[in-house]
Amino acid sequence: MDHLDRLESTSIHILREAYANFKSLCMLWSIGKDSTVMLWLAKKAFLGHVPIPLVHIDTSYKIPEMIEYRDRLTKEWNLDMVYGMNHEALKASETFPAGNTDRLTCCKMLKSEALRNTLSGRWPRHRFNHNLGKYEIDKNAEPFTGVIVGVRSDEEGSRSKERYFSPRDRENDWDIADQPPELWNHYKTDFAPGTHVRIHPLLDWTELNIWEYIERENIPTVSLYYNQGDGKRYRSLGCAPCTNPIESEARNVSEVIEELRSGQLSNIAERSGRAQDSEDGGGLESLRRDGYM
């Protein structure tokens, strides 16, 4: 068993623990490489069928290739796909691209608030109907209290403070100083009824591990991750107005892996192209305390 095998085995174990212990469970899918690897692991954990609804928070400012990719895989992999969004803020143009707020407030409105109210069922959810081939309003407003998220410890500072099973309060707020210990891979999965719990199967993975696994398993990814001929590629995907590509000649998965192994990016933060991080003091902790993914 090699290192990727061990990472895969641990993540699959956590996914199965989550499925066995949380009745109202969903998995967040950002469309990026990490949560897509997590989705692939879920396919493996449950013998090809993902029995957990996927939730995407659509800000309406995602790069169009991301939405096309989401809906293509939803059909091809027969996924139970749900998306939510902050219709009120968009309708009122209370967004950074509209010039009516700053980036952090925009993130809180379009991502954190949308996520909180989508998970709770207070705001409408849109669920893909495979018979009709389109999204429709979901009649099920039951709250999701167990939420699987594809964050990695090495991605940025606040994520290194997470647990595999991390409780939030009823409003998704995160108390970093009040988390259960996880010693010798003993996970706490018994929480008071109604507790909102984030589950993180990918905490031990690195950016390089993710790309090596994508190559080994031949997992489809968004073309934005690769240089299309202009000497640039996205290293981290987000909203179009606030996400910038990096200088890179990597045109495919193998070249991305070589780029990471060579150390060319060792002094550049993975999320350096995400403008909201710099406005949050160089990290995401204040956003994540309020429920950001």
Residues 146 and 82 in one domain: yes
Beta bridge partners of 233: 246
Residues 255 and 134 in one domain: no
Local structure of 254: helix, strand or coil: helix
Residues 141 and 226 in one domain: no
pLDDT band at 75 (very low <50, low <70, confident <90, very high): very high
The domain that holds 39 is classified in CATH as 3.40.50.620
Please check the confidence at residue 129 and state whether its pLDDT lies above 80.
yes
- 207 vs 264, higher pLDDT: 207
Residues 139 and 19 in one domain: yes
Please check the confidence at residue 265 and state whether its pLDDT lies above 90.
no
CA–CA distance, 200 with 150 (Å, rounded to integer): 6
Domain containing 254 equals 207-277
Residues 37 and 18 in one domain: yes
Residues 34 and 104 in one domain: yes
Long-range (24+ apart) CB contacts under 8 A made by 156-163 are 156/269, 156/270, 156/271, 156/277, 156/283, 156/284, 157/283, 157/284, 157/285, 158/283, 158/284, 158/285, 158/288, 159/203, 159/284, 159/288, 162/198, 162/200, 162/203, 163/200
pLDDT band at 262 (very low <50, low <70, confident <90, very high): very high
pLDDT, average across residues 242-247? 92
Please check the confidence at residue 283 and state whether its pLDDT lies above 60.
no
How many domains in the chain? Answer: 2
Q: Minimal CA–CA distance to 231: which of 259, 267, 262?
A: 259
Residues 143 and 7 in one domain: yes
pLDDT for res 82: 98
pLDDT for res 106: 93
Residues 220 and 166 in one domain: no
Local structure of 166: helix, strand or coil: strand
pLDDT for res 169: 74
Residues 188 and 217 in one domain: no
Look-up of token digits 């059909």: 75
90 and 110 Cβ atoms separated by less than 8 Å: yes
Residues 201 and 236 in one domain: no
- 82 vs 263, higher pLDDT: 82
Other residues' Cβ atoms within 10 Å of the Cβ of residue 47: 7
pLDDT, average across residues 15-41? 95
Other residues' Cβ atoms within 10 Å of the Cβ of residue 247: 11
Residues 124 and 261 in one domain: no
Please check the confidence at residue 282 and state whether its pLDDT lies above 80.
no
Residue 161, CB-side half-sphere exposure with 13 Å CA sphere: 14
- 146 vs 191, higher pLDDT: 146
pLDDT, average across residues 173-194? 76
CA–CA distance, 94 with 109 (Å, rounded to integer): 8
Please check the confidence at residue 191 and state whether its pLDDT lies above 90.
no
pLDDT, average across residues 215-236? 96
Residues 240 and 95 in one domain: no
pLDDT for res 180: 77
Q: pLDDT per residue over 138-147, tens digit each?
A: 999 999 989 9
